[in-house]
Amino acid sequence: PEVVMMGLGYIGLPTAALIAQGGTQVHGVDINQSVVDTINKGKIHIVEPDLGESVARAVENGMLKAATKPVEANVYLIVVPTPFKDKNEPDISFVKSATKAIMPFLKKGDMYIIESTSPVGTTEKMMHYIYEERPDLNGSLHIAYCPERVLPGNVMHELVHNDRVIGGIDDVSTEKAVNFYSQYVKGELHKTNARTAEMCKLVENSSRDVQIAFANELSLICDKANINVWELISLANRHPRVNILQPGSGVGGHCIAVDPYFIVSDYPMESKIIGTAREVNNYKSFWCAEKVQNAKLQFELEHGRKPKIALMGLAFKPNIDDLRESPAKYIAQKVLQNANNEEYYIVEPNIKEHNVFKLTAYQEAYKEADIVVFLVAHKEFSTLKANAQKIILDFCGVFK
Ligand code: SAJ
């Protein structure tokens, strides 16, 4: 094969399928045997629009094969997770073990590209690691960092159409990597060095986190000031140079709630706003759970009975089925921990069944509940009619 793709997850698999579709032979590698088996059957293990067809086609015409071990190729892409061990240290051990796995196959002139979100300096670190283990190759590889930027739910489109930032460890590496991506990316390819490209990815997600934190902070202020934050933001945004994002029940997912820590852990003294934004967004989820608790006690005092409570939405953002790092799920768990014989309805219209939460249809939950808590602004919820009989805790602006 021409390309070895290390990691067949949310980014690796769509990228592998896309490259294969363009007529390049791709060998995909994943440590999970059942993922490998699924893909070799032309099926997929993740939910993403249009990915299924693309993988099925690529496997059927023999351009994409999956395995648990790499083989010899000309281009090696590292697209594995870089989780955060605790609040102090990003974990690049998957990048390192993927690099170790391809080490015996590398030959002079090969290209090695990291796409995984990584702390600044990771590409240089991996270069030193490779040349230490393979001194025979010294200086002969083309090494670059090129972060992915796709939005879950729109991956197949954005992989092709988003601009990319490509940073080599030297100019030749950058040029070679640009040539490679130009085969399947229609967006612009921007050249830089590896460190800048690494920081660029972290900054993109930190920027969004900081902006959401600003909106969440406003929601706390407005709650105290008795002002409708949704109206306030929409009015402020009529200013030609103001563009405030939407408050919600917190910030979740695998990227925006994690990547800022990659900066904060390396530059703690300098990254005050970035670190504080993380705190504000985390606090917002805690605050929401407290609000539910207070509403519950208040209801009991006023009505002399336990309320029925609907928790609307579990996903980490609207209109997806992904519960990873979800603030809504965190709030639901916290509320249920404090349960004291109230009746609860848990709603997630994008999921049929869940092994922990017993799910109820959103219409029924809304009809039955005394207290309705909107945790995610799923499109289904906007069809519900406001009802003055109910206590509504609208954390994500369903009724604005
Ligand atoms: N959110 C708000 N208010 C808003 C917008 C979002 O509370 O106004 C919340 C969402 O509910 C969610 C979280 O923020 O909990 C993150 O959602 P998102 O849609 O902003 O982003 P992700 O995590 O799905 O994808 C991001 C994208 N990055 C940017 O937009 C800068 C995507 O382009 C990246 O590729 C992806 O992270 C990644 O993999 O890094």
Q: Is the pLDDT of residue 234 over 90?
A: yes
Nearest partner of 28 among 63, 1, 52, 4, judged by Cα: 4
- Identify residue 375 by its one-letter amino acid code: L
Mean pLDDT score of the chain, rounded to an integer?
Answer: 96
Residue 207 CA: nearest ligand 1 atom is 31
Mean pLDDT of 44-56: 93
Residues with CB under 6 A from ligand 1: 148-152, 204-205, 208, 212, 245-246, 248, 251-253, 255-256, 316-317
Which residues face 311 on adjacent strands? 346, 373
- ipTM for the whole complex: 0.95
Mean pLDDT of 138-155: 95
How sure is the predictor about 150, in pLDDT bands with cuts at 50, 70 and 90? very high
**Predicted pLDDT of residue 87:** 59
How sure is the predictor about 337, in pLDDT bands with cuts at 50, 70 and 90? very high
Residue 209 CA: nearest ligand 1 atom is 14
Tokens of 195: 């460190």
**Predicted pLDDT of residue 321:** 87
Which of the four CATH numbers 3.30.230.10, 3.40.50.720, 3.40.50.10210, 3.40.1390.10 does domain 3-194 have? Answer: 3.40.50.720
Residue 317 CA: nearest ligand 1 atom is 11
User: How far apart are the C-alpha atoms of 82 and 94, rounded to whole Å?
Assistant: 7
How sure is the predictor about 400, in pLDDT bands with cuts at 50, 70 and 90? confident
* CATH topology identical between 3-194 and 227-394: yes
**DSSP state string for 164-206:** EEEEESSHHHHHHHHHHHHTT--S-EEEEEHHHHHHHHHHHHH
Question: Ligand 1 test: best mutation among 146, 158, 256, most atoms within 8 Å of CB?
Answer: 256
Mean pLDDT of 334-353: 96
Mean pLDDT of 221-241: 98
- Report how far ligand 1's centroid is from the alpha carbon of 317 (Å): 8
Tokens 């709603």 correspond to what residue? 347
Residue 281 CA: nearest ligand 1 atom is 7
Catalytic residue from among 65, 176, 201, 329: 201
User: How far apart are the C-alpha atoms of 211 and 229, rounded to whole Å?
Assistant: 15
Q: What is the pLDDT of residues 51-67, one digit of tens each?
A: 999 999 999 999 999 99
Record the pTM. 0.94
**Domain locations along the chain:** 3-194, 227-394
CA 247 to chain CA centroid, Å, is: 18
Length of the chain counted residue by residue: 400
Q: Is the pLDDT of residue 250 over 70?
A: yes
User: How far apart are the C-alpha atoms of 392 and 270, rounded to whole Å?
Assistant: 41
- Report how far ligand 1's centroid is from the alpha carbon of 212 (Å): 9
Nearest partner of 312 among 390, 211, 234, judged by Cα: 390
Q: What is the pLDDT of residues 57-114, one digit of tens each?
A: 999 999 999 999 999 999 999 999 998 877 568 899 999 999 999 999 999 999 999 9
Tokens of 208: 């969004």
Q: Whose CA is nearest to atom 9 of ligand 1?
A: 251
Which residues face 113 on adjacent strands? 77, 144
**Predicted pLDDT of residue 254:** 85
Quick one: fold of 227-394?
Answer: Rossmann fold (3.40.50)
Q: Whose CA is nearest to atom 37 of ligand 1?
A: 255
- Report how far ligand 1's centroid is from the alpha carbon of 207 (Å): 10
Tokens of 374: 């909107």
Decide if 365 contacts 392 (C-beta within 8 A): no
Q: What is the pLDDT of residues 293-320, one digit of tens each?
A: 999 999 999 999 999 999 999 999 999 8
Mean pLDDT of 376-400: 95
CA atoms within 13 A on the CB side of 224: 6
How sure is the predictor about 46, in pLDDT bands with cuts at 50, 70 and 90? confident
CA angle 335, 336, 340 (to 5 degrees): 100
Characterise 354 by phi-psi region: left (phi > 0), alpha (psi -120 to 50), beta (else): beta
Q: Whose CA is nearest to atom 4 of ligand 1?
A: 246
**Predicted pLDDT of residue 346:** 98
The percent of residues in the chain predicted with pLDDT above 70, rounded, is 100
Nearest partner of 8 among 28, 37, 33, 34, judged by Cα: 28
Other Cβ atoms less than 10 A from the Cβ of 318: the count is: 18
Q: Whose CA is nearest to atom 40 of ligand 1?
A: 255
Nearest partner of 115 among 99, 131, 137, 103, judged by Cα: 99
* 201 belongs to the catalytic site: yes
Catalytic residue from among 255, 288, 296, 396: 255
Q: Whose CA is nearest to atom 14 of ligand 1?
A: 251
- Report how far ligand 1's centroid is from the alpha carbon of 324 (Å): 13
Residue 252 CA: nearest ligand 1 atom is 15
Q: What is the pLDDT of residues 162-207, one digit of tens each?
A: 999 999 999 999 999 999 999 999 999 999 999 999 999 999 999 9
Decide if 160 contacts 187 (C-beta within 8 A): yes
Question: Ligand 1 test: best mutation among 212, 319, 330, most atoms within 8 Å of CB?
Answer: 212
**Predicted pLDDT of residue 127:** 98
Mean pLDDT of 230-259: 96
- Report how far ligand 1's centroid is from the alpha carbon of 102 (Å): 32
